[in-house]
Amino acid sequence: MRREIKLCLVYRDMWQSAGKYVPRVDQLLKVAEPIINMGCFDRVETNGGGFEQVNLLFGENPNHTVRKWTQPFNDVGIQTQMLERGLNGIRMSPVPADVRALMFRVKKKQGTDIARSFDGLNNPQNLANSFKFAKEGGMIAQAALSLTFSPVHNADYYINLADQYIELGAEEICIKDMAGIGRPVTIGKIVAGIKDRHPGILVQYHGHSTPGFSVASSLEAARNGADIIDVGMEPLSWGTGHADLLTIHAMLKDAGFLVKDVDTKAYMEARSLTQEFIDDYLGLYINKMNRKMNSLLIGPGLPGGMMGSLMADLENNLKSINKWLSKRNKPKITQEDLLIRLFEEVEYAWPKLGYPCLVTPYSQYVKNVSLMNVLQMIKGKDRWSMIDENTWGMILGRSGKLAGPIAPELEALAKQQGREFYQGNPQDLYPDELELFAAKMDEKGWDYGEDDEELLEYAMHPTQYEDFKSGKAKEQFLADVKKRRTASRTSETAPVAANPAPVAPTHYQPKVLHLNINGEQFKVSVSYDEHETPSIAPKAETTNPATENGNDSDNGHYEAITAPLEGKFFLTKESSEIPVKVGDQINVGDTVAYIEAMKVINAITADKSGTVVEIVGRHGEEIEEDDVIFKIK
């Protein structure tokens, strides 16, 4: 008798791997029926990961969305699954135990059947509570092995890890190949090893198609005993997403497995609706690079789930670094050049950071510190001179034990900065907070919601929830959509000159002008756009020599501490911190503020000593790189 292989449509992950946002609830409800009518799915990934947070960002209540979105699948017996990040719950930073426990209870009551729990460091210690809380909440506890490829991550490592997860209470195992870099034969060995030791345990394979291994990996997983294969579908399959349903379906049938037939008419309807959502507005947040497969990612191993946000980050960082280069009359770099430099730096930095699995949030930490290394070195500064607080937490063991040793230079840097390594249980660092958030909701007159779901949302995503409640999130989202649509239309309709004006050789164009105006000396830096000629007014930045080095024109009475990157500026990162204020004495190396960028908090350290005479940066507001944030003397 032929063995049956079941299929799971990872509809949530399809969107996360493509771009920043997911469809609205009305759009999700439209596509639910054709997904069901396709007739080939036993499971659908509906929520978890960044899904709830993204809902808040565009001003939609994620609790209402999850309840409505899961209901059609619940009604017909298709299991729904969510992705959760262990210690980090469904956000990017650690979550108190009482909030984690409430999450599983709420998500089950909202209609989610299976909790796929993973830890980016593959620490059983961090997932023990996930399995316990999931089962207490009535969910199926599935443990994900975060796959990566390194000298310490081999087949035996993962087979033994599955043993530990099952002993702690995991009821299913997922082979989570989030970057698609697991070699097919190795994946087969892992599945076979787990099935040999635990024949009754369900094994589900999840592989992104990014570098091209995933089709062969799906076949190897199936041949060695996998029960369920995760798939994507057009127009969001392949690229940094997942192998396409039709390809995997045809391959498994040809290999002799029993798989449910696909209703082609329903498939085309679901495909058409998904494209409609892209055309509506979601395509504005999908970088074309994420729709391509890229074998260069075999080296750095960055996962598909973060490539959507990575390309958006790179666009901003490219503008920022080119602005910095232009100010100094240095040649600009391209996005491809920055991307390749980033990939190379990830390969260099990853082993020195202890080989964390490149999955959320640790893939972001490795990517962010690597990107900062690249940007800092372009500026002539030292590698590791800008490490964000989240990455420091990982390095110091505050998220659990790393698979490999930390490089000596990072140990020395930690000692130099007075940072201590942590050996205990990471959960102990984050005390319960539900009572705190309940009190805040009482003060504001906010309802806890059905099954305390609003309390959960506030405790899980405090800043985003407040912006959602105030209407600020919706307002900012709609403004951003309008801005992107305008930019897109402008780009599509911009006329191309039949005979573009000749560009004067750069050696004939002035780069720096020294002007005397009413007795004052000014230095003007001139940069030219690609097709700009000297006859067009050049872009210029005017700086007084007295202020060029951060000194006030009033006889050099202050020096400036500037922002090393763009993002949202904060004087403190926690309510218990005391912010820097006017009159404070600060010294070189002191942490004086924070900038939130690329989903992490970056500590800003003083590069000068003196007394604070003015705080220019505004707490909670966006700031540009090189903006003055403090004036000191």
Quickly list DSSP for 402-431: -SSPPPHHHHHHHHHTT-----S-GGGGS-
pTM: 0.78
User: What SS3 state is found at 4?
Assistant: strand
Give pLDDT, residue 151: 86
Give pLDDT, residue 515: 47
Higher pLDDT, 553 or 58: 58
Q: Above 50 in pLDDT, residue 20?
A: yes
Alpha-carbon span 177 to 183, nearest angstrom: 10
**Average pLDDT over every residue of 370-382:** 90
DSSP state, 168? T
**pLDDT per position as a tens digit, 188-207:** 999 999 999 999 999 999 99
Quickly list DSSP for 558-601: -EEEE-SS-EEEES-SSTTSPPP-TT-EE-TT-EEEEEEETTEE
Work out the mean pLDDT of the chain and round it to a whole number.
86
**pLDDT per position as a tens digit, 151-200:** 889 999 999 999 999 999 999 999 999 888 899 999 999 999 999 999 99
Which residue ranges make up each domain of the chain? 6-291, 299-429, 500-545, 552-633
Structure tokens at 340: 């390749």
CATH of the structural domain 552-633, one choice from 3.40.50.300, 3.40.50.1370, 2.40.50.100, 3.40.50.2020 = 2.40.50.100
Q: Above 50 in pLDDT, residue 138?
A: yes
**pLDDT per position as a tens digit, 308-323:** 556 666 777 788 888 8
Q: Above 60 in pLDDT, residue 509?
A: no
C-alpha distances out from residue 531 to 36, 287, 509, 527, 574, Å: 53, 26, 13, 12, 48
**Amino acid in the structure at residue 294:** N
Q: Above 70 in pLDDT, residue 496?
A: no
Helix (H) / strand (E) element for 442: namely helix 434-444
DSSP state, 461? S
Give pLDDT, residue 120: 86
Same fold, 6-291 and 552-633: no
Block residue for tokens 């490219």: 318
CATH of the structural domain 6-291, one choice from 3.20.20.70, 3.30.420.10, 1.10.10.60, 1.10.3720.10 = 3.20.20.70
**Average pLDDT over every residue of 336-361:** 88
C-alpha distances out from residue 552 to 23, 42, 179, 251, 618, Å: 50, 68, 50, 70, 20
Alpha-carbon span 191 to 187, nearest angstrom: 6
Give pLDDT, residue 309: 59
Give pLDDT, residue 303: 66
Give pLDDT, residue 97: 97
Q: Above 50 in pLDDT, residue 361?
A: yes
Handedness of CA 32, 36, 40, 46 (dihedral sign): positive
Query: How many CB atoms within 10 Å of residue 471?
Result: 10
Higher pLDDT, 168 or 521: 168
